[in-house]
């Protein structure tokens, strides 16, 4: 099956201090509707747009990290269409042929964790544009709502439209690319992809070289994968039964899990593109130094750095996905913590306990201090405490209360494995009988009794030591069943 997929990923510059052409805040979340507005983003007559410095710097940095060819100047373009949430009846954007985009072609190299292979997707262009306002529908969404409410707090928020070449071959590949793109932009301080509405994706899908169908406004990477898979299947079945795929725009319905017709696909000429007469060409050279300063850290450099320390790739991947976890590791290492031991503690045990407790992994306050983890690492390394005790008793306490001191979470001492073995055997008579009858799994129950006794008294115990002592007892003739 020959499938061609191209993406248009719209990413809000949530870390910008201002909207694109006015001084209103870029982060409008939590505000009352229609309060984060001014004459410019309301599109009032006579209001003139003025390109703001912050969005331009973030746009340039994004283009550089994706290996783009940068123009000497960018030229903004008017794109005309009529929609309730577009107050000017045109959007100020960029488009090659009618202006000059901030990126004229590039690529993003990223790691695919499904195959552990490095991949590269070609970028056609990146446009810096203003976001329209929000159309708010009643429950049931655009297809079933009886009315629409308009909130213009978002109108004018800076947006990157990242357009790929149609080189993606599967829905899974498209999802992995967008996840990598968002992670990269998060690392250079352009966006926070976990904020509501921080990104939307449109997918252009065609099979067998036929007409392409655009699926609009997909709001999550999981839905992107589902929508593309459904659309591929829909087009295959349509052709199989003698139908013809028409060029159209469709809407993804995440509740029903289907794409639905929205409108016929517009031609570019219908948008009446024209250079924006109110904004002269903007030179980018004066902004390059500040843009370059944002490129010191990328997830892919960090992954290779962690791998060079001997950290297993699965743990390195987990760490770069969650920046507070990565920062915790990198701060704990100079304090004397072992990188490999710390990576296991943070990426597997601590991260797992935080998830189990329902904590937000991206809030630094939910993680313990690097000093605490470095001290725990050193104690494990010198044998003062064993890893299993830390995993079973210390990590859960830190996950529930990250500011606990070492005195509050470390064991009061080390348990005597011989004494614990005797008590565990005496308290597990049925399991002992089962083990002696050949049911080897009963041993785990007996060991568990001994370990639980040690933990309940705040003492550390190495399960391997108590296992060995229990086996000695079971093999001896000193047990009265």
DSSP 384-399: SS-HHHIIIIIHHHHH
Q: Tell if the pTM clears 0.75, that is, is over it.
A: yes
Do 186 and 134 lie in one domain? The reply is yes
- Positive or negative: CA dihedral 374, 375, 380, 381: positive
Do 266 and 330 lie in one domain? The reply is no
How many angstroms separate the CA atoms of 306 and 320, rounded? 9
- Supply 363's token pair: 């809030």
Do 309 and 242 lie in one domain? The reply is no
376 lies in a domain?
yes
Q: How confident is the model at residue 265 (pLDDT cuts 50, 70, 90)?
A: low
Mean pLDDT value of segment 307-323: 97
Do 109 and 54 lie in one domain? The reply is yes
267 lies in a domain?
yes
- Cα–Cα distances (Å) from 431 to 404, 465, 469, 472, in that order, read 37, 19, 16, 16
Do 137 and 153 lie in one domain? The reply is yes
Do 460 and 361 lie in one domain? The reply is no
Higher pLDDT residue, 33 or 417? 33
135 lies in a domain?
yes
Asked if residue 190 has pLDDT above 90, the reply is yes
Do 394 and 448 lie in one domain? The reply is no
Question: Per residue in 388-439, pLDDT tens?
Answer: 878 888 899 999 999 988 777 776 667 788 888 888 888 888 888 888 888 8
Of 392, 410, 428, which marks where a domain is finished? 410
> What is the domain range of residue 13?
3-292
Do 227 and 360 lie in one domain? The reply is no
- Specify burial of residue 172 (Cβ count, 10 A radius: 0-12, 13-18, 19+): middle
Of 254, 277, 292, which marks where a domain is finished? 292
Q: How confident is the model at residue 479 (pLDDT cuts 50, 70, 90)?
A: low
Q: How confident is the model at residue 1 (pLDDT cuts 50, 70, 90)?
A: low
Do 214 and 335 lie in one domain? The reply is no
Of 355, 385, 410, which marks where a domain is finished? 410
Q: How confident is the model at residue 444 (pLDDT cuts 50, 70, 90)?
A: confident
11 lies in a domain?
yes
Do 260 and 303 lie in one domain? The reply is no
30 lies in a domain?
yes
Mean pLDDT value of segment 268-283: 90
Pure H helices in 241-393: 288-292, 299-308, 313-321, 323-332, 339-344, 351-356, 370-381, 387-389
Do 168 and 21 lie in one domain? The reply is yes
Q: How confident is the model at residue 470 (pLDDT cuts 50, 70, 90)?
A: confident
Do 328 and 223 lie in one domain? The reply is no
- Cα–Cα distances (Å) from 210 to 2, 176, 203, 222, 243, in that order, read 10, 25, 15, 26, 12
Asked if residue 453 has pLDDT above 90, the reply is no
Task: Give pLDDT, residue 175.
Answer: 98
Asked if residue 167 has pLDDT above 90, the reply is yes
387 lies in a domain?
yes
Question: Bridge-partner residues for 158, per DSSP?
Answer: 130
Task: Give pLDDT, residue 27.
Answer: 93
74 lies in a domain?
yes
Task: Give pLDDT, residue 455.
Answer: 64
Task: Give pLDDT, residue 481.
Answer: 57
- Is the distance from CB of 381 to CB of 344 less than 8 angstroms? no
Task: Give pLDDT, residue 464.
Answer: 81
Asked if residue 341 has pLDDT above 70, the reply is yes
Higher pLDDT residue, 177 or 480? 177
480 lies in a domain?
no
Q: How many domains does the chain have?
A: 3
């Amino acid at each position: 099956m020959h499938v061609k997929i191209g993406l248009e990923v719209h990413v809000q510059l949530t870390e910008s201090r201002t909207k694109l052409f006015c001084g209103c805040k870029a982060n409008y979340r939590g505000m009352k509707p229609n309060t984060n507005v001014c004459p410019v983003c309301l599109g009032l007559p006579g209001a003139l747009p003025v390109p703001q410095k912050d969005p331009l710097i973030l746009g340039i940095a994004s283009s550089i990290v994706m290996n783009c060819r940068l123009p000497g100047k960018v030229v903004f373009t008017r794109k005309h269409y009529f929609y309730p949430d577009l107050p000017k009846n045109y959007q100020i954007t960029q488009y090659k042929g009618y202006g000059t985009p901030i990126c004229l072609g590039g690529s993003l190299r990223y790691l695919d964790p499904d195959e552990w292979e490095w991949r590269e997707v070609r970028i056609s262009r990146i446009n810096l544009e203003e976001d329209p306002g929000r159309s708010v529908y009643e429950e049931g969404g655009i297809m079933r709502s009886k009315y629409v409410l308009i909130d213009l707090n978002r109108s004018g928020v800076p947006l990157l439209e990242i357009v790929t070449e149609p080189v993606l071959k599967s829905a899974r590949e498209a999802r992995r690319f967008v996840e990598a793109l968002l992670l990269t932009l998060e690392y250079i301080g352009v966006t926070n992809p976990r904020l509501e509405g921080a990104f939307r994706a449109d997918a252009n899908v065609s099979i067998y070289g036929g007409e392409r169908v655009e699926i609009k406004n997909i709001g999550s990477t999981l839905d992107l994968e589902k929508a593309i898979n459904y659309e591929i299947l829909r087009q295959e079945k349509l052709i199989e039964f003698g139908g013809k795929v028409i060029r159209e725009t469709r809407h993804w319905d995440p509740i029903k899990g289907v794409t639905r017709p929205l409108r016929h696909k517009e031609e570019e000429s219908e948008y009446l593109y024209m250079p924006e007469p109110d904004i002269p060409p903007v030179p980018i050279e004066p902004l390059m130094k500040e843009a370059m300063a944002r490129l010191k850290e990328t997830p892919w450099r960090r992954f290779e750095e962690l791998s060079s320390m001997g950290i297993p790739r699965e743990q390195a991947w987990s760490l770069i996905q969650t920046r507070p976890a990565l920062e915790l590791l990198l701060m704990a290492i100079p304090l004397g913590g072992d990188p490999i031991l710390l990576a296991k503690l943070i990426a597997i045990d601590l991260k797992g306990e935080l998830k189990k407790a329902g904590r937000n992994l991206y809030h630094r306050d939910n993680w313990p201090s690097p000093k605490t983890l470095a001290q725990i690492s050193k104690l494990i390394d010198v044998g003062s405490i064993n890893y299993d005790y830390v995993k079973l008793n210390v990590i859960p306490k830190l996950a529930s209360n990250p500011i606990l001191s070492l005195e509050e979470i470390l064991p009061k001492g080390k348990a005597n494995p011989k004494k614990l073995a005797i008590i565990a055997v005496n308290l597990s008579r049925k399991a002992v009988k089962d083990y002696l009858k050949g049911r080897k799994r009963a041993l785990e129950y007996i060991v568990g009794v001994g370990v639980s006794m040690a933990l309940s008294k705040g003492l550390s115990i190495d399960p391997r030591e108590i296992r060995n002592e229990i086996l000695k007892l079971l093999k001896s003739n000193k047990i009265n069943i």
